[in-house]
């Protein structure tokens, strides 16, 4: 889709990757709603703040009513709790799934009729290399991103006849708050990932592999799981 005439809703636009995506969309001539739990925290010039908590369906419905001219939904908002699936607090596992899976699902369900009514458009889901690689220490996060990968594939097929393309962006570590504890040489620039995301949307790519880690992990999908250490 052409970004110049797009009307985008970016979730989690107040910081991190979402802030870069919102800023670059403005530079490209799009109209941009910056969705955030605290809209007052959205500080990108030219971006229209919009209240939206991806775990609150009423706020999503209200955001879809306000942004009734939307043609592009960027499901970027996410959390990483760092809990493991067995020893970790199951309430945290559920919170992660609510945010990273049910959040994009609810936003897509609310905005699909809006985008369709405006003549079609696109959805981008921000996923992770951990959609495909599931280390124990990040088991809960990885499960939520694997679920969001399935969401991306299934909604791509379901929404295609309605004129809506669905892209999934996979990336390893980025230089945002979420990966603050990761050494700098293991992170890619979120600004660069944002640029690749926009290129992918414009090109209608179903899958955007934004760094070496995501490309490597994708390649290893056919490798058998590691045996139990015992």
Ligand X SMILES: NC(=O)c1ccc[n+]([C@@H]2O[C@H](COP(=O)([O-])OP(=O)(O)OC[C@H]3O[C@@H](n4cnc5c(N)ncnc54)[C@H](OP(=O)(O)O)[C@@H]3O)[C@@H](O)[C@H]2O)c1
Nearest by Cα to 121 from 133, 129, 113: 113
Nearer to ligand X, 57 or 202 (CB): 57
Alpha carbon distance 112, 61 (integer Å): 12
Q: Interface with ligand X includes 34 (CB under 6 A)?
A: no
Q: Which of 3, 7, 18, 114 binds ligand X (CB under 6 A)?
A: 18
Alpha carbon distance 36, 134 (integer Å): 28
Q: Which of 16, 49, 121, 200 binds ligand X (CB under 6 A)?
A: 16
Nearer to ligand X, 54 or 163 (CB): 54
Cβ-in-10-Å burial (0-12, 13-18, 19+) of 92 comes to middle
Q: Which of 37, 51, 61, 218 binds ligand X (CB under 6 A)?
A: 37
Name the closest residue to ligand X (Cβ): 16
Q: Which of 164, 171, 198, 201 binds ligand X (CB under 6 A)?
A: 171
Q: Which of 54, 72, 123, 164 binds ligand X (CB under 6 A)?
A: 54
At which residue do the structure tokens 């994708």 appear? 218
CB of 110 to ligand X, least distance (A): 13
Nearest by Cα to 111 from 162, 77, 60, 151: 60
Which range binds ligand X by CB under 6 A, 66-74, 75-83, 154-162, 217-225?
A: 75-83
By residue count, the chain amounts to 230
Q: Interface with ligand X includes 140 (CB under 6 A)?
A: no
Q: Report the Cα–Cα distance between both ends of the chain, in Å, rounded.
A: 51
Q: Which of 14, 108, 152, 167 binds ligand X (CB under 6 A)?
A: 14
Helix, strand or coil, per DSSP, at residue 11:
strand
């Amino acid at each position: 889709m052409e970004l110049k005439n797009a009307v985008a809703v970016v979730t989690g636009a107040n910081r991190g990757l979402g802030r870069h995506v919102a800023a670059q969309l403005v530079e490209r001539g799009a109209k941009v709603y910056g969705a955030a739990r605290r809209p007052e925290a959205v500080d990108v010039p030219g971006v229209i703040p919009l209240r939206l908590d991806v775990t609150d369906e009423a706020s999503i419905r209200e955001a879809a009513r306000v942004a009734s001219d939307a043609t592009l939904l960027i499901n970027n908002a996410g959390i990483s709790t760092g809990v493991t699936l067995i020893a970790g607090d199951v309430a945290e596992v559920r919170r992660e799934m609510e945010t990273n899976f049910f959040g994009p699902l609810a936003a897509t369900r609310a905005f699909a009729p809006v985008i369709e009514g405006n003549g079609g458009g696109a959805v981008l889901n921000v996923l992770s290399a951990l959609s495909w690689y599931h280390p124990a220490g990040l088991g809960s996060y990885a499960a939520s991103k694997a679920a969001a990968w399935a969401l991306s594939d299934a909604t791509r097929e379901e929404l295609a006849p309605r004129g809506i393309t669905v892209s999934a962006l996979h990336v390893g570590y980025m230089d945002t708050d979420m990966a603050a504890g990761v050494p700098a040489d293991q992170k890619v620039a979120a600004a660069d990932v944002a640029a690749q995301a926009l290129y992918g949307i414009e090109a209608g790519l179903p899958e955007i592999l934004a760094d070496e880690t995501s490309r490597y992990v994708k390649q290893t999908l056919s490798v058998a799981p590691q045996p139990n250490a015992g």
